Structures are given as structure tokens and as C-alpha cells.
Amino acid sequence: MTGKDAPVTFGASTHGLRGDYSAMLPDYSVVQDYSIYTEAEQDRWQRLYARQMRLVPGRACPEFLDVIDTLDFVAGIPRFADVNERLAAATGWSVVAVPGLLPEKAFFAHLAARRFPVTVWLRDETEFDYIVEPDIFHDFFGHVPLLFDPVFADYMQAYGRGGLKADGLHALEYLARLYWYTVEFGLVHTKAGLRIYGAGILSSPSEIDYALSSEKPRRIGFDLRRVLRSKYKIDTFQGTYFVIEDFAQLFAETAQDFTALYREVAKQPQLEADALLAEDRLFN
Ligand code: HBI
Ligand code: FE
């Protein structure tokens, strides 16, 4: 999900996007046709999975590691129906198959209803190391395990509801930043050290080490206003990661009504992706 040609906010338009949007329902959902996956794609999935599983121990947050082994992703491309049985029992969430990136409103509507849109197609072999848009591997491997955590699951729903409420408030840019710096590229401070919960990092073979170990990026204690003001990079590794203490903090800080916050933040200067403020709490 970091990529040269990625739209500034995902799904700002569906033009020029991969995926077949012709057979979808009005909510952008499609039916997963499992017979379309070729042997080569099943093999590619297994190699992507094996590579990433070697990287996550000691790096991913415990909530992710506790669940990933139980999901049977080792067997091949997951079936939505199988995952949904377990997910419904755990947190009442479900995954819904979609052709690819969704316009924000449709995306928010799914999250608000505790449905996570998962892309049906798998990346090409040429994109093995690096993909611009979310594919089925990024979505299942990066996002689905944390939907089993009750607190994170509630945060995702609150985010979707906030998105629907923000319609017309010129807040999309702020919401995209919050999503980017938490759901996609978030770090969490645990007793054992910094760990990753962001799906964009967890599904990346190279950023997973960079995010925790490189001396280049800043790792700053999560501050909601600071996050909303911070631009992000889509074409390189992140300049800044924001560190939460736990998912409860994330949920609590974002449970408030954002209307006043949007107005306040709009008056302040935007911050570059590698900015440093005197009040930033640095972790590196
Ligand atoms: N659609 N399928 C899909 N997956 C995403 O992660 C996604 C999206 N549409 C919009 C979007 N993300 C972002 O704009 C978020 O900031 C809301
Ligand atoms: Fe994602």
C-alpha cells in the first residue's frame, strides 16, 4: 500500500484501478468465486504467507500473533465463508469481498456495519515484493487478524461511523491520515518493546524491519491533533510512525465527536511527514 502511483487518498476515484467493478452490488460487494484462483496464485499466496510469517515473530503485536496461526492461511488463499464463521463468533465482524479500492463513503459504510472490505484478487508475480493497491494478501494477512481483537474491532467501527458523520465537513484528508497512521502504519508500545499493528507494515517484507529498527524514521507518541495535521508518504517508507500505548487508548481518543477538532486543526499548519515538534514524545 505504499506505491508510486497510489491515489493520495484511496478510492478518491475508482478510475484506473485494478479489479472488475462490473458485477458488484450497490455496496461494492462481489461474490468470491474460488475457482478463479490458479495453481500459480495459490503457490504465490503460500510463498507470500511463508515469507511474512518468518518476519512477524517479535515484531508484530501479540494480538496479531495470537490469531494469525489459528486462521489456516498456510493452506492457501482463504475462503471468505470460512474466515467469517470464526470472525463472527469472535467480534461480530465479517469480511466482504470487493473488486478493489472503494470510494470513501462506501468504505466507511462497511466499517460502520462491522464489515471489512477485502479485495478478491491476488497481486502478480512481478509485484511479489511491492504492490501499490491493497490485494487479497494485504487485506487478509494485514487487516483481518486484528479484527479478532474486541477493542481494535470497536475502533474500526468507530472510525467508519466517524467517516459517515464527516461527510460534508471537508474532513476526508484528516480521516485518511488517522487511518494511515494507525490502521496501516501504527506501532504500539508493549512491555517487551515497540511492536507493529499497522497492516501496511505487517504485510510488507521490507518495511517490517525498517519500521522498528531503522534510525531514519521518527517514532512519536500518538497525539490525535498531531496525527490529523501530519501528511504522509505513499511512495517511500514512512518518515514518521505514531506509537500508541494500547488499543484502548486508540478507541478512547477517537471516540469523541471530531467536528470541533476538524475546525481547530484546519487553522493550524500542516506538518511534513518527517516534521519534529518540541512537544513530540520521541521513542527512538
Ligand atoms: N477501499 N478496499 C478498500 N480498502 C481500503 O483500505 C480503503 C478503501 N477505500 C478508501 C480507503 N481505504 C481510505 O480512503 C481510508 O482512508 C478511508
Ligand atoms: Fe490496508
**Which are the contacts of 238, defined by CB distance < 8 A and separation ≥ 6?**
2, 185, 207, 211, 217, 232, 273
Question: Residue 5 has what pLDDT?
Answer: 31
By annotation, the residues acting in catalysis are 138, 143, 184, 203
The parts of the chain modelled with pLDDT lower than 50 are: 1-15
Domains annotated for the chain, with CATH where assigned, are 20-266 (1.10.800.10)
Question: Residue 9 has what pLDDT?
Answer: 40
Ligand nearest to the CA of 180: 1
Question: Residue 6 has what pLDDT?
Answer: 33
Question: Residue 1 has what pLDDT?
Answer: 39
Cα of 135 from ligand 2 centre, angstroms: 9
Q: Grid coordinates in use for 97?
A: 469481498
Ligand nearest to the CA of 117: 1
Question: Residue 168 has what pLDDT?
Answer: 81
Cα of 141 from ligand 2 centre, angstroms: 10
Give the residue ranges of DSSP H helices in 70-148: 80-91, 104-112, 136-137
Question: Residue 169 has what pLDDT?
Answer: 85
Question: Residue 255 has what pLDDT?
Answer: 87
Cα of 193 from ligand 1 centre, angstroms: 29
Question: Residue 2 has what pLDDT?
Answer: 36
Ligand 1 site, CB within 6 A: 9-11, 98, 101-102, 104, 107, 117, 119, 134, 175-176, 179
